[in-house]
Amino acid sequence: MDKKIENDGKLEVSLIFPAYNEAENLERAVKEVIQALEGVTRSYEIIIAEDGSTDGTDKIASELMRKNASVIHIHSDKRLGRGRALKNAACKARGEIVVYMDVDLATDLRQLKALVNSVKEGYDFATGSRMLPESRVGRSLSRRIASKWYNFMVRTLLDSKVRDHQCGFKSCKRESLLQILEEVTAIHWFWDTELLVRASRKGYRIKEIPVEWKGGEKTKVNLLRDSLVMGSQVLKLRWKLRNQGLPDET
């Protein structure tokens, strides 16, 4: 029996990597997150939600699963989008706590313990926040401005109290996540925002934790294009929530 699986077959943490064309980063990310998890939890699994990659990420993920019993590779022949890949993986996760993060490891893994412990302490959701005074963030001025403007728009139009909706470093109580998962319909980057907004409006407890975050030179985010798309999705979600009659936050 793998030492990371408890006697009753349950796991404490399921960590999900959404992975699209991450051949350069995946093996290193898995190795580093295994080392980090060893000091955080008694039992875990790592799920690679590989999303129709064309650069050999699928082969690397399969090899990692073959070598390590704690690694699971979920493959899609076609691109689903980051949101759908995360959703599929979350449905298959066995851990009491579901964590997900980006393969580039932009957030320092020293914050992983605080992310997991927040759920252990009773929060339903926890998210890294680059907007907290204690956080240390390295990125360009243009991206700082865009991020602040986006989060201001979400807070204003969607009545959210969360400061940073898009940091790809989150944990969830599995039971709470599954209760709202089907309501989250975004298929790509907006998935993170919709998840937190819907969780907040339903009264789930959310904790933001300070992080050390550094953006990489290579990014899949197109600042102008994605800002326009995300802005339109904020407006669409506002319309959906009003028509669904969900209560505003108190």
Give strand pairing partners of 97: 13, 173
Residue 193 pLDDT > 60, yes or no?
A: yes
- Per the listing, tokens 């914050």 go with 111
pLDDT band at 219 (very low <50, low <70, confident <90, very high): low
pLDDT at 3: 43
Tokens of 190: 């907006």
Contact in structure between 230 and 152 (CB atoms under 8 Å): no
Cα distance from N-terminal residue to C-terminal residue, the chain: 48
Instruction: Write out the catalytic residue numbers.
Output: 192
Give the domains, in start order, of the chain with CATH numbers. 11-244 (3.90.550.10)
pLDDT band at 244 (very low <50, low <70, confident <90, very high): confident
Residue 216 pLDDT > 70, yes or no?
A: no
Candidate from 67-71, 110-114, 239-243 with smallest mean pLDDT: 239-243
The backbone region for 113, taken as left when phi is positive above 0, alpha when psi lies in -120 to 50, beta otherwise, is alpha
Candidate from 48-57, 152-161, 193-202, 235-244 with smallest mean pLDDT: 235-244
Candidate from 96-105, 107-116, 150-159, 225-234 with smallest mean pLDDT: 225-234
Return the percentage of the chain with pLDDT > 70, whole number: 89
Residue 248 pLDDT > 50, yes or no?
A: no
pLDDT at 176: 98
**Average pLDDT score over residue span 47-65:** 97
pLDDT in tens, 140-170: 888 888 888 999 999 999 999 999 999 999 9
